[in-house]
Amino acid sequence: MGTYILVFIGCGAALVDREKTLTIVGIAMLWGLVLMVVIYTLGHISGAHVNPAVTIAFAAAQKFPLIQVPMYVLAQLLGATLACLTLRVLFNDQAVDMRPTNQGFAGIAIGATVAFNRPITGASMNPARSIGAAVISGVYKNLWVYVASPILGAMAAALAYSLLRQPEIEKSKETSKSLYNDLYDEP
């Protein structure tokens, strides 16, 4: 549900902004704000996993059960694809935008990261968003970059986190399920 909302609103804003009244900054801020809202409203349910790269990185850092990764990633890909399909049905010919795309605080931090990186990545730091849009638009050019880069980057971040973080006293044998819980649990 979170990935659907994120992709529907984020990509939908770009579609309806044919006059460019929102500007790149406005659309980037919208992506960031929508991500923040999704994290705060749905984070307690799914752990704020709306990006396969995040799910894979959490599993790599042993903060998420590996057995749940395939279902989470499948749900994220399905959510993004259905969001793009919904936009295709609603906007028909406008749903394929061929314009160049190089143009607690967890929700704010992550949303700001997306907003600030929008000019570099086209707000496509989420493989589910990229795959969903590619499937519906039929445009697969350089898709591998938008799938591999976030996953490799997230895994590198998970490794860096594991290496740099001081060992904690083990609170329990349970694995943390979510970004949301991990950030807001008491130390």
26 pLDDT higher than 90: no
Q: How many CA atoms lie within 13 A of 58 on its CB side?
A: 29
Determine the structural domain holding residue 69 and report its residue range: 2-184
Contact 114, 37 (CB under 8 A): no
Contacts of 84 (CB under 8 A, 6+ apart): 7, 11, 95, 132, 133, 135, 136, 137
Residue scoring higher pLDDT (1 or 113)? 1
Greatest CA separation for the chain? 56
Q: How confident is the model over 129-155, as a mean pLDDT?
A: 86
pLDDT value at residue 21: 74
Residue scoring higher pLDDT (159 or 94)? 159
Name the region of 174 (left: φ>0; alpha: ψ -120 to 50; beta: rest).
Answer: beta
CATH number at residue 136: 1.20.1080.10
Number of domains forming the structure of the chain: 1
Residue scoring higher pLDDT (65 or 15)? 65
pLDDT value at residue 72: 93
Instruction: 160-165: list long-range contacts, CB under 8 Å, 24+ apart.
Output: 161/61, 162/61
pTM score above 0.75: no
